[in-house]
Structure 1
């Protein structure tokens, strides 16, 4: 509906991008559900392990930052309505959306590179889809475990900052401004 039936506005650009991000996530959800149902056995091969992980991260980043765009747009529209009317247009919104998708693809591609499949145990017929920090297949099995130990905290901290802390510190003040402006609006008594 948003993409084809509605008039193109800045808001429809934001909501269409949010819908596309969610649709992509839902399209790949059966792979994650199957992985979970099979007790984390990954039957889909290395490429799908990489692609599914990339799509999950791409969706998280794109969805969160499109929600940030929506919050900022609403806030700016309330605080500076004349500026918005003179400077905001669909073309600029499309470029900003493409920027969000571009950054999301770059971050997702990092996961495409580091994800790999690995046998759980020699005597168990179970393949896992997990982060691999080895450079090649010819490595000491202890080496990736040591690298995982040192790389996990920075990755968790970076994801926390990029996917929660930064968006949270933008969305909350924007919505606070909207709430305050709503409370300060005096409607005539009917």
Structure 2
């Protein structure tokens, strides 16, 4: 009987979990089901690319005046656009009966962008939440320090931080051939600096470190920051009895929707990644992960497709504005109406020459037609 150690002498070392995946044959022979999945995935791929490209065009090239809110949205859209560009690769993977036939370079590209988008999205959503909190808790500081230039610098920091965290997932990614000749684009934690003696420990440490770190850094900690920020905001508004007109209601609605979509799309993926650490020791968990992890990854891929829809439909008077111009849809969404006064001072109006702390001018309509005067009167 050939042992796993004897097998490793004839070829490269594989982690125990990866060895099980190589030998396992999932039944993906239902042609009709696979065809439906491929078609649906292809449609969402095309929509995601078009949606995010349109948002980047509007926010990046059509707006004549930027706000901090528009910078947050633009960077989210750019990250989502990169992620949706890799969706056709995943569609082809389904089309090829769950076999990666696109080669090692595209395997690295797809993996890197997937994790990069995960970290960038988490960072930006946490930054947006802290930005909202600062507007409430430190209005004077926000008035003096909050700017588009600083928002760009913070976004650049987030992109650099995401790239750094993506490196381990790119380094330990490889294309592995299975026993049934299909190919996996998957983590190969024994790829570097591993020996037969240290194989199991190396695999457990590396898999555990990557799974837990991405759960903490790209999900749990950002979620704590997001939840804590909005709880603090709610308490502050209740104490001041000034709930209305603190922010643009449309932007607050959009942020809430995007955060909810982020949690719903990414939570299953992180849960299955944690379960995967125990899969090599339990057959039932292994089978569950084998089926559930690809499905949860598909849900995660849906996040950058859903975000543009949430951006657009969070805009007040959507149907009216879409008839005016594409830019008009985002005019009421990224403007920042934070017309509140400092404690003890009277509230100011939009017509006043005084601009409230942290407030920014509304974004102008892009169309050459007239601006709907009723839009400004609603404060949206």
Band of TM-score, shorter chain = 0.7 to 0.9
For 1:186 and 1:21, locate their aligned partners in 2 and report how far apart those are by CA, in whole Å.
Answer: 35
Q: Deviations over 1:76-101 (max 9, x none)?
A: 01111111010111111111110100
CA 1:144–1:2 in structure 2 vs 1: closer, same or farther (change >3 Å)?
A: farther
CA 1:90–1:161 in structure 2 vs 1: closer, same or farther (change >3 Å)?
A: same
Could you tell me how far 1:62 is from its partner in structure 2? 0.3
Q: Deviations over 1:113-134 (max 9, x none)?
A: 110101111xx22111011131
Match of 1:151?
206
Query: Given the alignment, which residue of 167, 177, 183 partners 1:127?
Result: 183
CA 1:76–1:129 in structure 2 vs 1: closer, same or farther (change >3 Å)?
A: same
CA 1:45–1:109 in structure 2 vs 1: closer, same or farther (change >3 Å)?
A: same
Query: Given the alignment, which residue of 161, 169, 173 partners 2:224?
Result: 169
Compare the two structures and name the one with the higher strand fraction: 1
Query: Given the alignment, which residue of 32, 39, 59 partners 1:2?
Result: 59
Tell whether the 8 Å contact from 1:75 to 1:175 is kept in structure 2 after alignment. Answer: yes
* Structure ranking higher on relative contact order (CA contacts 8 Å, 6+ apart): 1
After superposition, where does 1:21-60 map in structure 2 within 5 Å? 21-60=79-118
Match of 2:183, SS state, is: strand
Aligned length: 184
Could you tell me how far 1:181 is from its partner in structure 2? 2.8
For 1:129 and 1:75, locate their aligned partners in 2 and report how far apart those are by CA, in whole Å.
Answer: 41
Tell whether the 8 Å contact from 1:117 to 1:128 is kept in structure 2 after alignment. Answer: yes
After superposition, where does 1:25-104 map in structure 2 within 5 Å? 25-104=83-162
For 2:76 and 2:153, locate their aligned partners in 1 and report how far apart those are by CA, in whole Å.
Answer: 15
TM-score (norm: length of structure 1): 0.86
Tell whether the 8 Å contact from 2:112 to 2:170 is kept in structure 1 after alignment. Answer: yes
Tell whether the 8 Å contact from 2:175 to 2:185 is kept in structure 1 after alignment. Answer: yes
State the superposition RMSD in angstroms: 2.4
| Structure 1, 146-155 or 49-58: larger mean CA deviation | 146-155
For 2:188 and 2:223, locate their aligned partners in 1 and report how far apart those are by CA, in whole Å.
Answer: 30
For 2:106 and 2:183, locate their aligned partners in 1 and report how far apart those are by CA, in whole Å.
Answer: 13
Could you tell me how far 1:30 is from its partner in structure 2? 1.7
Could you list the runs of 5+ residues in structure 1 that have no partner in the other structure?
A: none
Tell whether the 8 Å contact from 1:132 to 1:144 is kept in structure 2 after alignment. Answer: no
CA 1:47–1:145 in structure 2 vs 1: closer, same or farther (change >3 Å)?
A: farther
Q: Deviations over 1:112-169 (max 9, x none)?
A: 2110101111xx2211101113128xx87x9766643442222211111111221012
| Structure 1, 178-187 or 77-86: larger mean CA deviation | 178-187
Could you list the runs of 5+ residues in structure 2 that have no partner in the other structure?
A: 1-57, 245-380
For 1:4 and 1:91, locate their aligned partners in 2 and report how far apart those are by CA, in whole Å.
Answer: 17
For 1:186 and 1:154, locate their aligned partners in 2 and report how far apart those are by CA, in whole Å.
Answer: 45
Are 2:218 and 1:160 aligned? no
Tell whether the 8 Å contact from 2:169 to 2:210 is kept in structure 1 after alignment. Answer: no
Could you tell me how far 1:39 is from its partner in structure 2? 4.1
CA 1:128–1:144 in structure 2 vs 1: closer, same or farther (change >3 Å)?
A: farther
For 2:97 and 2:206, locate their aligned partners in 1 and report how far apart those are by CA, in whole Å.
Answer: 25
